[in-house]
A and B are shown apart, each in its own frame.
Chain A
């Protein structure tokens, strides 16, 4: 992710909707990956994705650049996820089972299933934030409020497991 570009796009959202669309296209995959990593349910994650972008659009009116647009986006996404989980917990015991979309490529399905079964929540989150969001471990540690060493070790442990999976599949 190019921090400067994303920062500029957010600043321009209030002026023109085409910037919002561009911003959406550039970021939706990493945002969805993060939501999915916490929620694990495809349909719920899709709904949350929608809500996150609504919040981003509305919050962009008050956006002040701190040169850390990803941390800003992350905060919105995390708050929505937690809000959803809290709401669910009030009603029923939340079903933590992985649910994926009906149709997709077999390879994709295998990788996703491994990502969600072989890794624990923290390993998965750290990998997505480091590999997809391009965040540094120091930033990840601060965002997830975990020690730097935990972010590093979760990443390495998780990657080791994923590499094994990929090797096996080939």
Chain B
């Protein structure tokens, strides 16, 4: 691949002089946090209140008077429209819990900070804020960004103090929102508050694995954990998100270590994250040159996924392959099945490949609810990489999935080139080309339904 390097070397511009010139004017203090550097222990005991202050500049019924909207999210979701004097013009309950909290309180005409304190007081009393779900979000939206920012600062400080006075060690998340139209549209579409929609939007920008659908049902506390783990800097956070509802890092580590049967591993990473609809601990460690990676369900400690990778020795000469003994495809299959500890498999696929100058078999198969993938060195049958993932109940074979896609496209098998089917979570990704057209299908692994299809002209 030196060729690729040469290509980029040729076009890479030399900006060193302008970098030096620019550096003379810049004296910022930049701290880079990579995954490995984070310290998560500090979450352990923290009790969190996330408060996000959203000032939304929406034109409500009284456009002349309302200059901003303050949103509060704990689980009750409330929006307060305010006028130039920071007095409350209108209170809107955004969900059922909010109606319960507001009750017959009449906040109209009160100062915004007084109103918010009253609401938070009621939430504490009603038990919406406790050790497990102690997050509060306050958001400010308005036309004047400077005013929004001032209000946000003031409110988050007030809330923080109010919580401390109530002997709660909380975490207040606060933000101002511009870009209102898109966010309001999204909030409406998913039936959540504008503040939450903005937070989710920020998370998606930071982490391409997240989707709006996946995050919309998370609690404010869970969102706060993700905000901190993903280093979203658009919001302001005081305190730490509560993790009391989870098994804790120590226990997650122990579960992974016990399963891997390691005694003195070197920790590489442990982090709370959100994956496929649930909170998980990602645990990574090494021992004896083997890298382990576990996903552990944060609430129960169940192992959802595990991976191992042996240390690869890169051999510089690629010619020696033919002389040494080589294992056959059948032997490789046996090695993989023995390692996986399974007797019957489906959807078996094997491919030969060359990586780092050595020949490898890429093997995939399905057994029970799990999809297994192995990379095995041809030379000596050593397992270089392996992965096991839960794909749910699969009743359709790869061949059936291919056929379903072909039937739908009305193409005969003989005409389809580069026909491939790959099992993703709960569906097969089937792709093929006919003439100058590329087809892509998603076929439900349980019932063979066509979930998605597209046809594109190759350039």
Q: B389–A147 contact, CB under 8 A?
A: yes
The contact of B312 among A32, A136, A149, by CB within 8 Å, is A136
Residues from 18 to 66 in A contacting B, C-beta threshold 8 Å: 21, 24, 28-30, 32-33, 36, 42, 46, 49-50, 53-55, 57-59, 61-64, 66
**Beta-carbon contact of B32 and A111 below 8 Å:** no
For A84-115 the 0/1 string (1 means CB < 8 A from B) is: 00100010000000001100110010011001
CA distance A26 to B210 in the complex (A): 34
A153 proximal to B (CB < 8 A): yes
Residue pair A146, B209 in contact (C-beta under 8 Å): yes
Nearest chain B residue, comparing its CB with the CB of A132: B5
Partner of B385, one of A54, A58, A148: A148
Chain A residues with Cβ below 8 Å from B8 are 29-30, 32-33, 36, 132
- How many Å lie between the Cα of A142 and that of B33 in the bound state? 14
B458 → chain A closest CB, angstroms: 9
Interchain CB contact (< 8 A) of B1 among A21, A46, A61, A132: A132
- Cα(A104)–Cα(B9), bound, Å: 12
Known A-B contacts A72-B34, A117-B459; A132 and B23 likewise in contact (beta carbons under 8 Å): no
CA distance A166 to B1 in the complex (A): 11
> A149 touches which one: B14, B208, B373 (CB < 8 A)?
B373
Given contacts A21-B16, A145-B209, A156-B362, contact A71 B7 (CB under 8 A): no
Interface residues of B in 303-329 (CB under 8 A from A): 307, 309, 312
Contact A148 B293 (CB under 8 A): yes
**Distance A137 CA – B355 CA, assembled complex (angstroms):** 11
Chain A residues, CB < 8 A from B27: 58
Interface size class of B (residues with CB under 8 A): 35 or more
Residues of B within 8 A of A146 (CB): 209
Whether A149 contacts B387 by the Cβ 8 Å rule is: yes
Q: Which residue of B lies closest to A150 (CB)?
A: B424
Shortest distance between the CB of A167 and any CB in chain B (Å): 13
Interface string of B26-65 (1 = CB under 8 A from A): 1111111111110000000000000000000000000000
A50 touches B29 (CB 8 A): no
Decide yes or no whether B84 CB sits under 8 A from chain A.
Answer: no
Q: Which A residues are CB-close (under 8 A) to B307?
A: 138, 148
| Neighbour of B23 across the interface among A54, A63, A149, A152, CB < 8 A | A54
Contact check, A66 vs B37: say whether CB atoms are below 8 A apart. Answer: yes
Complex Cα gap A146–B353 (Å): 22
Q: Which residue of B lies closest to A86 (CB)?
A: B205
Contact residues, B164-214 vs A (CB, 8 A): 179, 205-209
CB-CB under 8 A for A138 and B309, given A36-B8, A50-B19, A152-B385: yes
The answer to whether B35 touches A71 (Cβ under 8 A) is yes
Given contacts A57-B23, A111-B7, contact A71 B36 (CB under 8 A): yes
- Distance of A157 from chain B, by nearest CB (Å): 9
Residue B410 lies at the interface, judged by CB distance under 8 Å to chain A: no
The number of chain A residues with a CB under 8 A from chain B is 59
B449 to chain A, nearest CB (A): 24
* CB of B18 closer than 8 Å to a CB of A: yes
A54 and B22 in contact, given A62-B31, A112-B11 (Cβ under 8 angstroms): yes
CB contacts (< 8 Å) of A152 on chain B: these are 362, 373, 375, 385
How distant is the Cα of A147 from the Cα of B28 in the complex, in angstroms? Answer: 35
Contact of A82 among B10, B33, B205, B209 (CB under 8 A): B205
Tell me if B3 counts as interface (CB < 8 A to partner A): yes
Among residues 150 to 169 in chain A, which have CB atoms less than 8 Å away from a CB atom of chain B? Answer: 152-153, 156, 166
Q: CB of A68 within 8 A of chain B?
A: yes
Residue B143 interfacial (CB < 8 Å) = no
B100 to chain A, nearest CB (A): 38
Smallest Cβ-Cβ distance to B32: which chain A residue:
A59
Best-surrounded residue of B15, B27, B269, B284 (most CB of chain A within 10 A):
B15
The verdict on A76 contacting B32 (CB below 8 Å), with A28-B12, A49-B13, A86-B205 known, is yes
Provide the residues of chain B in CB contact with A75, threshold 8 Å. 32-34
- Interchain CA distance A152-B353 in the complex, whole Å: 11
Q: Check A53/B309 contact, CB under 8 A, given A59-B30, A112-B7.
A: no
**Residues B387 and A147 in contact, CB atoms below 8 Å apart:** yes
- With beta carbons under 8 angstroms apart, the residue of A54, A61, A76, A132 that contacts B26 is A54
Q: Could you give 27 example pairs across A and B, Cβ below 8 Å?
A: A28-B14, A29-B12, A30-B8, A46-B13, A49-B12, A49-B15, A55-B30, A58-B27, A61-B29, A62-B29, A66-B37, A86-B205, A90-B179, A104-B11, A108-B6, A111-B3, A111-B4, A131-B1, A131-B4, A132-B1, A132-B5, A142-B269, A148-B293, A148-B385, A152-B373, A152-B375, A152-B385
Q: A residues engaging B (CB < 8 A)?
A: 17, 21, 24, 28-30, 32-33, 36, 42, 46, 49-50, 53-55, 57-59, 61-64, 66, 68, 71-72, 75-76, 82, 86, 90, 100-101, 104-105, 108, 111-112, 115, 117, 127-128, 131-132, 136-138, 142, 144-149, 152-153, 156, 166
Residues of B within 8 A of A (CB): 1, 3-16, 18-20, 22-23, 26-37, 179, 205-209, 269, 284, 291, 293, 307, 309, 312, 353, 362, 373, 375, 385, 387, 389, 422, 459
Beyond A57-B19, A57-B23, A111-B3, 13 extra complex contacts between A and B, CB < 8 Å: A30-B8, A49-B15, A53-B16, A59-B31, A62-B30, A71-B34, A86-B205, A90-B179, A108-B7, A111-B7, A112-B7, A142-B35, A142-B284
